Structure 1
Amino acid sequence: MVEHGPEAFFLELDGLYSTYRPLGADVTRREVDFLDRILRRSGNRGSLIDVCCGYGRHANEFARRGWQVHGVDISPGSIQQATEVAREESLSAAFSVQDCRTFEVREKADAALVLGTSFGICGDRDGDDACVAAMTRAVNEQGVICFEMFNPGFEALRLASPEGLYRERRTTNGVAHHFESLTPDRSAKEYNVEYRVGEKVFKLNMNMPLYSSDSMDDMLYRHGFKRVLLFGNLNGDQYDQYNSERLILVYQRC
């Protein structure tokens, strides 16, 4: 049995992430339909960086639509899976094993994205700020940064019970047990995950910071960005502080 924090968990899980959190191609296409539309509305038409790209489901879908894509993730197995798909389809997508807090790219991109509620996965606010700094370095002077995040207002209602919330999720090759609760100051989600695949058991224990749109605005402003768009999900629905499951934020250099 393996038990540790987020970095070690995802390294140990490695190529199994695509089975731990599988999502269908139709979901990915719908999400990228929306993201492609808002990025082009912001004047971006060429290149993007997918941070914490996992097995490349968004990155390769963007490449299918003509974007030049660079995906970064800490998991070698996930990067290998993403690279194989790009190679098989002759897509303009490259992938590299890098930490979201320190990654570097050879050429600056038009946009950088953190999708799938991955922002906050570092487990501490200094690490999240370092991730934003790396994204800032990676985009050009007209660059856009986009986040798909948990909505703290929705999470506060969903996890209102002091006992927290348990759920079991069947995957393609195992079962994942999730227990979530809020920290006493309600500034973070406490995650306890046990993922069983055959004889292997992976455990994750972490606190994931929650950010309001205002706190993200402050963080991004310190890095030279201002918010230009706000949505409640990747369908483009209007944001509601308590009813939207997600917080979609788009920033552009000041």
Structure 2
Amino acid sequence: MSWVEDANRQVDFLIKQLHLKGTEKILDLACGFGRHSLEFARRGYDVTGIDITPAYIDYANEQAKKENLNAKFICQDIRTITFDEEFDVVLNMADGAIGYLEDDGENHKIFSVIAKALKNGGKHFMDIMNGSYAQTHFPCKLWDAGEKGLTLSAFEWEKDRKTLIYGQVDYMYGEALYKPEMKEGNPIRLYSLDEITEIFCKLGLRICNSFADFSGKPSSDNDIQLMVYSIRE
């Protein structure tokens, strides 16, 4: 499935599960190059996307202009956003920067931005890695066969900090085997559904549903993905 087809399928899911009518104003946090934002805009929604990477924002704005879409994209650190009860929907897709900051205090700023940006009765959806899964399944190593070679992914788990350390190394087909240096990504603070529920309750957000994937399967501690739908009250 292509990225375009995948984005279309995910937007279909969001519209159905969040009971969207087509008139909502949507904020997409850490939107990347706008694959979800642009698809919502193509369907008539008023969309604002935020990302800290200039190249992503430039691409998204160019695409929105090219297609004459009602979408704007802003290059900004999410923590500095000052929207106040302006949006019907806030999205954090493909992690949406949740858990990527240096400590719990900084990560919680993202949650505060979400709650503040939502109108009363507004809806939030996040798609993150499941902290409960990490506690019981990491550390582990996985091999993945691609078109050009094999990728070895290593998942380490710092239990006290509830933090994932991810490393990756590539082996190209036809090349001599050697022991390359594993490339480590930034540590990611992972959250369980119970933690999200507690944090959101303090911010006036009520959990409505949680899923394990975009088929609508209910979430569980044995699923690596955690998707949470909540409403601001």
TM over 0.5: yes
Deviation per CA, 1:1-54, whole angstroms, max 9, x where unpaired?
Answer: xxxxxxxxxxxxxxxxxxxxx96211111111001112226x784111000000
With 24-33 and 122-131 compared, the bigger mean Cα shift is at 122-131
Q: How far apart are the structure 1 equivalents of 2:128 and 2:166? A: 15
Deviation at 1:165, TM superposition (A): 2.1
Q: Is 2:47 the partner of 1:78?
A: no
CA 1:121–1:60: 2 relative to 1, 3 Å: same
Q: Is the 8 A contact 2:86 2:118 kept in 1?
A: yes
Q: How far apart are the structure 2 equivalents of 1:192 and 1:251? A: 32
1:52 aligned residue? 30
Q: Is the 8 A contact 1:148 1:248 kept in 2?
A: yes
- Using structure 2 for the length normalisation, give the TM-score: 0.83
| SS of structure 2 residue aligned to 1:110 | strand
2:186 aligned residue? 206
- Choose from 111, 118, 128 the match for 1:139: 118
Task: Give the ranges of 4+ consecutive aligned residues of structure 1 lying more than 4 Å apart after TM superposition.
Answer: 166-172, 174-178
CA 1:176–1:101: 2 relative to 1, 3 Å: farther
2:100 aligned residue? 121
Q: Is the 8 A contact 1:74 1:99 kept in 2?
A: yes
| SS of structure 2 residue aligned to 1:154 | helix
Deviation per CA, 1:136-189, whole angstroms, max 9, x where unpaired?
Answer: 221111211211111223334442x4xx425568699x9987432111437121
Q: Is the 8 A contact 2:166 2:184 kept in 1?
A: yes
Q: Is the 8 A contact 1:36 1:62 kept in 2?
A: no
Deviation at 1:92, TM superposition (A): 0.9
Q: Is the 8 A contact 2:22 2:45 kept in 1?
A: no
CA 1:191–1:225: 2 relative to 1, 3 Å: same
2:155 aligned residue? 180
Q: Is the 8 A contact 1:149 1:247 kept in 2?
A: yes
Q: How far apart are the structure 2 equivalents of 1:107 and 1:94? A: 18
| SS of structure 2 residue aligned to 1:236 | coil
Deviation per CA, 1:73-109, whole angstroms, max 9, x where unpaired?
Answer: 0000001111111111111110001112222348701
Gaps of 5+ in 1: 1-21, 196-202
2:220 aligned residue? 240
1:93 aligned residue? 71
Query: RMSD between aligned alpha carbons?
Result: 3.0
| SS of structure 1 residue aligned to 2:167 | strand
Give the AA of the match of 1:137.
K
- Choose from 14, 23, 45 the match for 1:67: 45
Give the AA of the match of 1:101.
R
Q: How far apart are the structure 1 equivalents of 2:136 and 2:57? A: 36
Q: How far apart are the structure 1 equivalents of 2:151 and 2:14? A: 29
1:11 aligned residue? none
| SS of structure 1 residue aligned to 2:227 | strand
2:180 aligned residue? none
Q: How far apart are the structure 1 equivalents of 2:85 and 2:232? A: 17
Q: How far apart are the structure 2 equivalents of 1:73 and 1:64? A: 20
| SS of structure 2 residue aligned to 1:113 | strand
Q: Is the 8 A contact 1:44 1:111 kept in 2?
A: no
1 or 2 for the larger relative contact order (CA 8 Å, sep ≥6)?
1
| SS of structure 2 residue aligned to 1:122 | coil
